Structure 1
Amino acid sequence: MSRKRAAVRASDIAPELAQLSRRRLLKGGLSLGALALMTGCDLSSHSGIDAALSTMLEFDDRVQAALFNPSRLAETYPASAITEPFRFNAYYPEWQVRTAPVQWRLDVSGLVSEKTPWTLQNLMALPQESQITRHICIEGWSQIGQWSGVPLHVFLRRIGADLRAHYVALKCCDGYSTSLDMASALHPQTILAIDFKDAPLTPEWGAPVRLRIPTKLGFKSAKNLQAIEVANIYPGGFWEDQGYNWFSGS
């Protein structure tokens, strides 16, 4: 189910939140029937159900964006809490692009002033940060891991990205894609991870570079990055275009 939308901003939903307390918003929710009455959706057909579900997802995205605090950090943990062995998924050897790190390039495009592709060596020359945070999978499991890399806000500023833009889109070597709102992209814990557990990423962990964003569900932490685009047009994503909640964060 593909969805088109306008940019999500906290100010867009301020009037609605003024009428709903945070407690009521989190404890309750709109039923499919109630939402259908609000939107005038005809649920007698698949198209009517899809329209109602799409409206629910878009409303959920707007609420999450309004409640998102760009200065609030995800919980961090001591090294003793790291999960061993750390689980991974969505790794299929036949999907991996056989590109040596020395040959890898990260393309940049869109609303940026510097569009020269980045090498792994160039990225490693930027300031690095390490984090021990929880990875929460939409499948229902979570584990604690350690990642190190370049804060995405540092990278975006280095390429002269328009920080007023609405979206940051990410494309991967295997065809996977996802996208973030700009506030989440600029969050201090959102990084372009280069290392996992103090060692260079291997293919199953997203080599040579992956996104790591602990304020969102795991499917937003795209692996095997190939391109980053800054845009004002909603870019969607692999799972988002199939009906997954787009914001998917706290």
Structure 2
Amino acid sequence: MEAKPYLQEIGLKEGSIASFANYPFNIPSIKMMPVIKFHADVTFIVGENGSGKSTFIEALAQWLGISAQGGSNQVYMEESAGLLLPRHLKGSKSYRKPKDYFFLRAESLYNVATYLDEVYQGSVAENYGVNSLHECSHGESFLAIMANRLGGNGLYIFDEPEAALSPTRQLTALSLIDTLVKKNSQFIIATHSPILLAYPNSIIYQFDESGIKEISYEDTQPFIVTKSFLNNHKSMINNLLYNSENDKG
């Protein structure tokens, strides 16, 4: 059996960054990054838009040798300009390597699907379960990759997968994650989804203006806001919509 966690921890190289004045080093969560220790099963990254989640996830993927666009461990696309963070990271891994890598992100899945069509000449069924990911909806493509491409014994990085998935499909994704964890896989997931965050065998790190800290599921903003809305949706809608109308008057 492979030794997990494959990726044990990551942090900034001491003294490596000359200035924290420019992007991405001026993002508070990056500027004050501690050594992040990863769970053997699932590690979640949460935070508001602009908190540095995707910047961190992209840099982590590149540090592992995966394209920032997404996909497997073959860097096949031009990387985003200005992604300087990977060269300033240092980490520790298990003495055994995962047999599989994949970076799954909603933002650039179209580009990955196009690349796969070009390489496999319109038929990726053997590895992905469909002839072309372009023949599927965004959410179906995500699930096809999870169900067919990710085979276990892997290190998998997801960036906001819920962007492509309905709540019902997020439950399906949660089940697929658990299946892969039981096949000796490790996940690192940036998400806003209170459904995905409910996975029990996990650590949750919050990225915000004060830096990075570990928090409980019940203390995450996705959980707090969703629970508050569902319990008080009528009053919240009234306050949001009717008060804004009165303000205009």
Superposition TM-score, scaled by structure 2 size = 0.22
More helix by share: 2
